[in-house]
């Protein structure tokens, strides 16, 4: 059963977490963008912690899509080890009908208003999955939403679950092919999620005591939106993402530095069979973690 941290003790627990990590922040290995079975990852929170320890990591951030359900189990699993777990989330949003993903670090995972907003975002995910499955079935690809939901293990549903169901049914050879031919953006059965304003999402993260970071802008191609997001309170940019090129990393680091924002980074790990860098394999300077911890500590001291 997931450990419950009393709301009154949240900031104390956060301060202890930050202090513990700060003691060993130099020469650390860390990954600040990871997914579990609470959304579209393949490892449970406990399995992710075991994998991180096996990889020699010192700190991780659990950042599932539109849910913080994996944070407490991951904290429990890491208790007594050298691995520090940072609470996080990856939130779905739109800006001018374009997809924007916002990472929230050090959010209060027991804030009732925040949790209610996450429920709304997950409901939008389910609506999208149903529409996608209905469209695929109407085109002759026999499958049901129940098959898709079985793959979520009760977690937040996403397109990857639809893709896995397509593979299981023999309608695609691989998850990558399902995206490339059927359900990826611009493909015949792509369905956009019902939009939640990115500006609203930034406000939600801030109200939950978190630090908002623009996720993988080089993947979503939203460079032109960065100034407006900064004006709305964006706290950082994920410069060191697993799919960013060296030029991307340099460009986003420069943008963040000039705007006085944090730089973060991570592998965006879902499963060991996914293409791209594996768990903890995105190299980034220690200052990424150090600056994030300093920003979180500054916020907690003001609360």
CATH of the domain at 163: 1.10.150.650
Is the per-residue pLDDT at 22 higher than 60? no
Is 126 contained in some domain? Answer: yes
Average pLDDT over residues 57-66: 96
pTM for the model: 0.83
Asked whether residue 176 falls in the same domain as residue 209, the answer is no
Residue 15: predicted pLDDT: 64
Is the per-residue pLDDT at 176 higher than 70? yes
Structural domain for 162, as ranges: 122-183
Residue 16: predicted pLDDT: 61
Q: If pLDDT is split at 50, 70 and 90, which confidence band does 276 have?
A: confident
Residue 264: name the closest of 33, 17, 11 by CA.
33
Say which range, 10-24, 83-97, 181-195, has the weakest mean pLDDT. Answer: 10-24
Q: If pLDDT is split at 50, 70 and 90, which confidence band does 18 have?
A: low
Token pair 């999620």 is found at 193
Asked whether residue 84 falls in the same domain as residue 206, the answer is yes
Count of structural domains, the chain: 2
Average pLDDT over residues 265-290: 89
Asked whether residue 18 falls in the same domain as residue 112, the answer is yes
d(CA 290, CA 59): 11
The beta strand positions in the chain, using DSSP E, are 30-34, 59-62, 84-95, 98-105, 211-214, 236-241, 262-266
Average pLDDT over residues 22-41: 81
Say which range, 21-25, 74-78, 236-240, has the weakest mean pLDDT. Answer: 21-25
Is 74 contained in some domain? Answer: yes
């Amino acid at each position: 059963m997931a450990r419950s941290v009393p709301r009154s003790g949240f900031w104390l627990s956060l301060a202890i977490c930050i202090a513990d990590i700060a003691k060993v922040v130099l020469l650390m290995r860390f990954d600040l963008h990871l997914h579990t079975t609470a959304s579209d990852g393949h490892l449970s929170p406990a399995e992710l912690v075991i994998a991180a320890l096996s990889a020699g990591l010192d700190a991780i951030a659990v950042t599932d899509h539109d849910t913080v359900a994996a944070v407490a189990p991951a904290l429990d699993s890491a208790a007594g080890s050298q691995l520090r777990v940072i609470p996080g989330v990856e939130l779905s949003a739109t800006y001018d009908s374009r997809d924007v993903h916002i990472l929230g670090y050090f959010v209060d995972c027991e804030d009732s208003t925040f949790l209610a907003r996450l429920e709304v975002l997950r409901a939008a995910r389910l609506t999208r999955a149903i529409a996608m499955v209905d469209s695929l079935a109407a085109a002759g690809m026999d499958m049901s939403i129940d098959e898709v939901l079985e793959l979520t293990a009760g977690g937040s549903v996403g397109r990857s679950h639809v893709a896995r169901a397509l593979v299981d049914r023999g309608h695609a050879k691989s998850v990558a092919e399902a995206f490339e031919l059927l359900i990826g953006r611009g493909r015949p059965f792509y369905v956009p999620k019902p939009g939640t304003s990115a500006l609203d999402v930034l406000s939600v993260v801030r109200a939950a005591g978190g630090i908002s970071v623009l996720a993988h802008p080089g993947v979503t191609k939203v460079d032109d939106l960065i100034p407006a997001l900064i004006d709305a309170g964006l706290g950082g940019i994920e410069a060191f993402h697993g799919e960013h090129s060296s030029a991307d990393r340099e460009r986003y680091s420069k943008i963040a530095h000039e705007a006085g924002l944090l730089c973060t980074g991570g592998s965006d790990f879902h499963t060991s069979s996914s293409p791209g860098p594996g768990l903890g394999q995105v190299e980034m300077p220690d200052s990424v973690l150090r600056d994030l911890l300093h920003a979180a500590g500054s916020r907690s001291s003001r609360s």
